[in-house]
Amino acid sequence: MALPNIEILQQAADQARGLAIDAVHACSSGHLGLPLGAAEVGAVLYGHDLQVDPSDAEWLNRDRFVLSAGHGSMFLYGWLHLAGYDLSLQEVKNFRKLHSKTPGHPEFGETPGVECTTGPLGQGVGNAVGIAIAGKMAAAHFNTPEHEIINHQVVCLVGDGCLQEGVAAEAASLGGHVGLDNLTIVYDSNDVTLDAMADASQSESVLDRFAAYGFNVIRLEDGHDLNAIADALSQARANNNGKPTFIEVKTLIGKGIPEVAGTAAGHGEGGAKFADSARQGLGLPEEKFFVSEEVRSYFSSLKEQRKVNRQAWDQTFSAWQSANPEKAALLNSGLTRELPANLIDSVQVFAEDAKVATRAAGSQIINDLAKAFPLLISGSADLHGSTKNYLKDMGDFSSTNNAGRNLLFGIREHAMGAIVNGIGYYGIFRPSGATFAVFADYMRGAVRVSALANLPIFHIWTHDSVAVGEDGPTHQPVETTSGLRLIPNLDVIRPADPEETAGAFFASLERIDGPTGLILTRQNVPNLSQIPVSERRQGVLKGAYVARKEEGELELIILASGSEVSLALEAAEKLGPTVRVVSMPCMERFDRQDAEYRESVLPKKFRSRLAVEAGVSDIWRKYVGLDGVVVGIDRFGISAPGDIVMAELGISVENIVKKAALAGLNG
C-alpha cells in the first residue's frame, strides 16, 4: 500500500518521538523505549487506519485501541494529542504530575481515548479479547439485516513483557478459539526486555505460537516502514477467515536516541539525558514539545473527515433506532447502566423450609435475573457444573454463535478476570465470571485492576470455606475472603441463605461504580425464614442488618457472615433473649451507610461483641475491637467431611456459646 501523505506521517512520527523525549525529560521518569520504537505504528494507526472520532471519544462504533504495554503511556498520550482528542499540549507537558490527564500508566476514565487501565503486563491482551468479544456480542444482539450499526475493530499493542505473562497466553488462546476476526494484536518486537536482551529469557517463535492459537500471522522485518505497517493493518481489517490477526513488527527500541537505541537501557528514562542531541538528530528545533503547523493541519483535516464519517454512521444509527425501538431501548439501558424496573422482584422467593447451598440458590437467581435482563452475561473457568451459574437455554458464545450469553473460559482464571474486565470496559453488557474461591488468587491481578478502574462487573466465587471438606486445605480458602476485602473499591458479599443470595446478585447489578465478588457455599444452609424476605434482601444492599433483635437490655452482639449466620442465630437462642445477632454479608456496603444506620446496627458505645466466620479472624477486629472475641480459623484446613472440619476447627454453635462469656455476656 502506498500511503498518501507519507511524508507528513513520518514527520508526525518524529514529532511524537520529540513529545515523548521532552515529557519524560521534564519529569525525570517514564519509559521512552516503546514511544520511540513504535512511533511509525502510532502514525499509521492514529494518522490513517483507526476509525474513530476524536471529537467524541465514546462513539459507540469506534475502533478500540488498547495499549497493553501501558508503561509506554507517552506513546498513547502523544498520539491522542496529535489526533485531536481532548488532551491539550499542556496536559502532555504535565505527564506524571499530580491531577494531570496523563498519569504514569493509562487509566480508564482519566484520559479521553484511553480504553483500558493498563500497566500490569498482559492485562491489556485479556482486555482486548474481552472488548472484541463484547463487540461480537453487540453486533449479534443489535445489528439487523437492514442496518449494521456495530462493525468496529480492536487493535492491541503489546511488547515482549506482555507476551511473557501467562494471562496473555490464556487470553490469546481463547481469542483464537472463538474466532475473533475483529481483533488485531500488534507485537512491538524489539528483542529487549527491562533487565537484558529478550534472548536472556525467551527463545520460542512468538509468531508460531500465535499461529498455533489460531491467528493469522504477519511479520514485518522493518517496523518503521509506514507503507508496510499500513498494508498489514489493512489485511487485518479485511480478513474474513474467522481468525484474529497477529502482526509482529520488528522495531528498534528507543529509536532516535543513538546512545541507547536497541539496548535494554532504552526501555526506561535512561535516554532522556540525551534529549537535546536526540531532538537535533530527529530534525526537531530547540523548542520543547514541538509540533509543526503542517502536522497539526494534517491531523485537523483528518479529524474533520473522521467526524464526517461518523455523521454518516449517525444516519444509519438513527434509521436503526426508528426501525428497532425495543433494541434501541435495550442498547440505551446498557450504555446508561439502567436496570429493568423492579428487577429484584423477578427472583422467585424460596420455600421457607429450603435448605440449599448458596451456589445452588445462585443458579436459580442468576437465571431469573437473566430472563428479565438480557444484557446479563455469565461465564465460568470450566466449572459451570460446580459454580452453578450457567444460563439455561441462552447459548454458549462461540465462533458460530456470537449471541450466546455463556462464556466458556476454560481453565483460565486470570484470563477470565481480564476478559470480563474488557467486556466491562466496552460498556453495554454486565458480565460475570465464576470459579472456586480459592482460585480467586489466580485472577487477583485482574480483580485489582477492575476495582481501580471502577468497572461494574462481578465474579462468583464458590466453595467458600473449610466446609468444602474432603478436598482438603488446598481447596479450603481460609484467607481468601478477607484477602479480597483488602482490595479498595471491591464489594465482597458472603450471603447467609438463599434470600440474602438474591440480594447479593441484585447488589452486584445495582452497583455501577465498581466490581463485586460473591462468596458462595458448597454446603447446604438453612433458609432463615424467621427473618422476612424483604429484610434479608434489602439487608444485603446495606451490607449488614439486625437479624435477631434482643429483648430487654442488650448484653452481647454476635456478628457473622455466610453460613455462620445460622450458627450465630442458634447460639443466640441458647444464650438468651439479650443477645443481638447481626448478619454482615458485605463489610464494604455497611461502611458506606450513614452514621445513623450504622449506629442502629452496631451501637458505638456497646463493646460486648463477638464475630464468627470460617476464615482468618483479624479483619473482624474493626467491628469487635481489641476487647472483643473472634471465632475464626487462623490456620489451614483439614481433609475430612465438611461438617467434621468445621466442628474440629471451632466453627460450631457450642464454641460460639463457650466464647460468649469471653465477649462480655453477663459480665
Distance CA 256, CA 254 (A): 6
Torsional class of 342: left (φ above 0), alpha (ψ -120 to 50), beta (otherwise): left
Q: Show the cell assigned to 633.
A: 480459623
Q: Show the cell assigned to 387.
A: 459454580
The neighbour count for residue 79, using CB atoms within 10 Å, is 28
**Cβ–Cβ < 8 Å for 442, 414:** yes
Residue with cell 533487565: 195
Distance CA 577, CA 333 (A): 48
Q: Which of 151, 149, 201 is nearest to 316 (CA)?
A: 149
Q: Is the dihedral of CA 531, 533, 537, 539 positive or negative?
A: negative
**Cβ–Cβ < 8 Å for 361, 518:** no
Distance CA 191, CA 202 (A): 10
Residues with catalytic roles: 413
Residue with cell 518486537: 189
Distance CA 456, CA 543 (A): 18
**Phi and psi of 629, rounded to 5°?**
-120, 140
**62: Cα separation from own chain's centroid:** 20
Q: HEC states along 249-265?
A: EECCCCCCCCCCCCCHH
- Paired with 612 in beta bridges are 560, 631
The 3-state DSSP class for residue 313 equals helix
**Cβ–Cβ < 8 Å for 118, 127:** yes
Q: At what angle do helices 325-335 and 293-323 cross, to 10 degrees?
A: 130
Q: Which amino acid is at 508?
A: S
**Cβ–Cβ < 8 Å for 649, 633:** yes
Distance CA 308, CA 512 (A): 33
Q: Is 238 exposed, middle or buried (0-12, 13-18, 19+ CB in 10 A)?
A: exposed
Distances (CA, A) of 449 to 107, 121, 455: 10, 12, 9
| Largest pairwise CA distance in the chain | 88
Distances (CA, A) of 269 to 122, 260, 288, 407, 600: 22, 10, 17, 41, 55
The 3-state DSSP class for residue 243 equals coil
Residue with cell 507476551: 163
Distance CA 515, CA 460 (A): 11
Q: Which helix (H) or strand (E) holds 461?
A: strand 458-462
Distance CA 449, CA 438 (A): 19
